[in-house]
Amino acid sequence: MAENFVGSRKKITPHLTQNEGLSFEKSAPGRKAYRLAPLDVPEVDPRSLLGESCRSQSAELPQLSEIEIVRHFTRLSTWNYAIDLGMYPLGSCTMKYNPRVNELVSRLEGIADAHPYQLEALAQGSLEIMRLLQECLLEITGMEAITLQPAAGAHGEFTGILLARAFHQAKGNARKTVIVPDSAHGTNPATAAMCGYEVVNFKSNPQGGIDVEALAKAVTEETAALMLTNPSTIGVFEKEIHRIADILHAKGALLYMDGANMNALCGKTRPGDFGVDVMHLNLHKTFSTPHGGGGPGSGPVACRRILEPFLPAPVVERGSDGQLRLNYDRPQSVGRVRAFYGNFGMFVRALAYILANGPDGLRQTTEDAVLNANYIRAKLEDVYDLPYTTPSMHEVVFSDRRQTRNGVKTGDIAKRLIDYGFHPYTVSFPLIVPGALMIEPTESESREELDLFVDAMREIAREVEENPQVVLDAPHSTRVSRLDETTAARKPVLRWKKP
Ligand SMILES: *Cc1c(COP(=O)(O)O)cnc(C)c1O
């Protein structure tokens, strides 16, 4: 059964096709992919034009025919995995489908050719895209002011905590600490530290939420903010969020929400309505702009009115003449956090996505994302350990507790999943779950794709019982199998060199 399953999946995932016998080095002297028209002017010695800077030997470029080049790059692209090939259940990353209409809109001539130095009078369309996106995001979050400048989620956190710092500073005391729960994304404590705060690590309760009594004791006059991910990294909605906000506000502290998980909330509830003061969004997660491989991202920061004076400059404003303009005259601003106005192409894609879905569509998206995660949870909880039984939102976190009895860890299961034609889930995160398997299917997946994934995960669980070695040696279907992951990250070899 396992063989058949892998076999049928292989057919639709060409990245699994083996091309044994095809060497990487394809160059052969004299092959060309171009033909120039015959020279119809006198030949010139390039040295007479370029002098010393002219190379004395011709460059050692590969010599290939056109079809060989096309096939080479097309083949390489199939050795990778992509959301366009299949489910990409990387928890916390919201790897959803990037609708083609977003790409179409972002390539419209007037949009694709816009230049950041264009005069405001000639850039009214681009400014309107930014203004309208801001309005939509404010409506979705229930917040009162926003900047689109930050280039990623972590960058948004940094900007948001800078706002909090400027806010406290303006009242005469920047305060000393930021409280970060132990379930937080690693970027949260890093952000607080980068903004000059001491990080107070806060232990989650057995349900994976905030212990309100303990929080009331932890918050002091020196607390600048609490950074809370909601739903948390174990996919649980923080039920006490109103009380948490009240506890902070009573001491003059702010509630920062890491909004990377908005895919579980859009159209259902709004952070502005449950007491959040400042938050970031990941357009490249929730709002379907392509991500992975290092960017581009976009991490707008939305806040309450009290933080507006500190927003990065410039901000988009409509003048009394009805024209949109960029206002740089912001004396209390934390300054710029990025060149120009942010990743404009991402704004276009996110706005296209929001407008194409509309409010009902966004709500449906949220419901489907939550339904899909709970479907997977229900189909796998008898074979994988579920450490938190609190209802799941958009993602479900299992642990490898049962599989470790046979010496198999979450990383091994993830690598075996590659053989079954899926991208691995998020491995060993969040840290509060030892040996975590963090699975986020998103709303993009059909019932059939979810079933294939469930079958694969169940097959792997069976293999762990019957033949753990096949899992420990996985992946078997890729060009390279187990790499030294530390060296691969610290000393990556990014260029092919002729042996
Ligand atoms: C992805 C993520 C971030 C960081 O976002 P980047 O765009 O990768 O910088 C922060 N917090 C949480 C919970 C996330 O999932």
* Residues 257 and 273 sit within 8 Å (Cβ to Cβ): no
Cα(154) to centroid of ligand 1, in Å? 6
pLDDT at 79: 83
- Cα–Cα nearest to 312, from 153, 185, 162: 162
Ligand 1, atom nearest to 299 Cα = 7
- Checking if the pLDDT of 66 tops 70, the result is yes
- Checking if the pLDDT of 375 tops 90, the result is yes
Does ligand 1 lie within 6 Å of residue 334's CB atom? no
Ligand 1, atom 4, lies closest to the CA of 153
- Checking if the pLDDT of 1 tops 60, the result is no
Ligand 1, atom 3, lies closest to the CA of 153
In this structure, what DSSP letter does residue 350 have? H
pLDDT at 8: 43
Burial zone of 484 (CB within 10 Å; 0-12 exposed, 13-18 middle, 19+ buried): exposed
Report phi then psi at 2, rounded to 5.
Answer: -60, -45
* Residues 140 and 270 sit within 8 Å (Cβ to Cβ): yes
- Give percent above pLDDT 70 in the chain: 94
pLDDT at 35: 85
pLDDT at 499: 66
The string of pLDDT tens digits covering residues 144-187 is: 999 999 999 999 999 999 999 999 999 999 999 999 999 899 99
Neighbouring CB atoms inside 10 A of 140's CB total: 23
In this structure, which topology does domain 101-355 adopt according to CATH? Aspartate Aminotransferase; domain 2 (3.40.640)
Assign 6 a pLDDT band (cuts: 50, 70, 90).
very low
Assign 59 a pLDDT band (cuts: 50, 70, 90).
confident
Mean local confidence (pLDDT), 258-267: 96
* Pocket-testing residue among 282, 393, 438, ligand 1, by greatest number of atoms within 8 A of Cβ: 282
Ligand 1, atom nearest to 155 Cα = 9
* Residues 208 and 234 sit within 8 Å (Cβ to Cβ): yes
Cα(282) to centroid of ligand 1, in Å? 7
The string of pLDDT tens digits covering residues 387-401 is: 999 999 999 999 999
Mean local confidence (pLDDT), 116-123: 94
The string of pLDDT tens digits covering residues 133-144 is: 999 999 999 999
Does ligand 1 lie within 6 Å of residue 229's CB atom? yes
**Is the pLDDT higher at 315 or at 479?**
315
Q: Tell whether pTM > 0.85.
A: yes
- Checking if the pLDDT of 21 tops 60, the result is no
pLDDT at 296: 85
200 DSSP β-pair partners:
179
In this structure, what DSSP letter does residue 66 have? H
Mean local confidence (pLDDT), 443-447: 97
- Checking if the pLDDT of 294 tops 80, the result is no
- Going by C-beta distance under 8 Å and a sequence separation of 6 or more, which residues neighbour residue 265? 230, 231, 271, 366
Ligand 1, atom 5, lies closest to the CA of 153
> How many Å apart are CA 70 and CA 81, to the nearest integer?
19
Does ligand 1 lie within 6 Å of residue 168's CB atom? no
Cα(426) to centroid of ligand 1, in Å? 13
Q: Rounded to an integer, what is the distance from CA 363 to the centroid of its chain? A: 20
- Name the segment(s) of the chain with CATH classification 3.40.640.10: 101-355
Does ligand 1 lie within 6 Å of residue 153's CB atom? yes
* Residues 377 and 390 sit within 8 Å (Cβ to Cβ): no
Tokens of 284: 């490249």
Ligand 1, atom nearest to 157 Cα = 10
Q: What is the CATH number of domain 368-489?
A: 3.90.1150.10
> How many Å apart are CA 487 and CA 208, to the nearest integer?
34
pLDDT at 401: 98
Tokens of 351: 């706005």
Ligand 1, atom 7, lies closest to the CA of 153
The label of the residue with tokens 């930014």 reads: 130
Mean local confidence (pLDDT), 87-107: 95
Neighbouring CB atoms inside 10 A of 115's CB total: 10
pLDDT at 80: 84
Q: In this structure, which amino acid lies at residue 20?
A: E
* Pocket-testing residue among 92, 96, 298, ligand 1, by greatest number of atoms within 8 A of Cβ: 92
- Name the segment(s) of the chain with CATH classification 3.90.1150.10: 368-489
Cα(173) to centroid of ligand 1, in Å? 29
* Residues 275 and 246 sit within 8 Å (Cβ to Cβ): yes
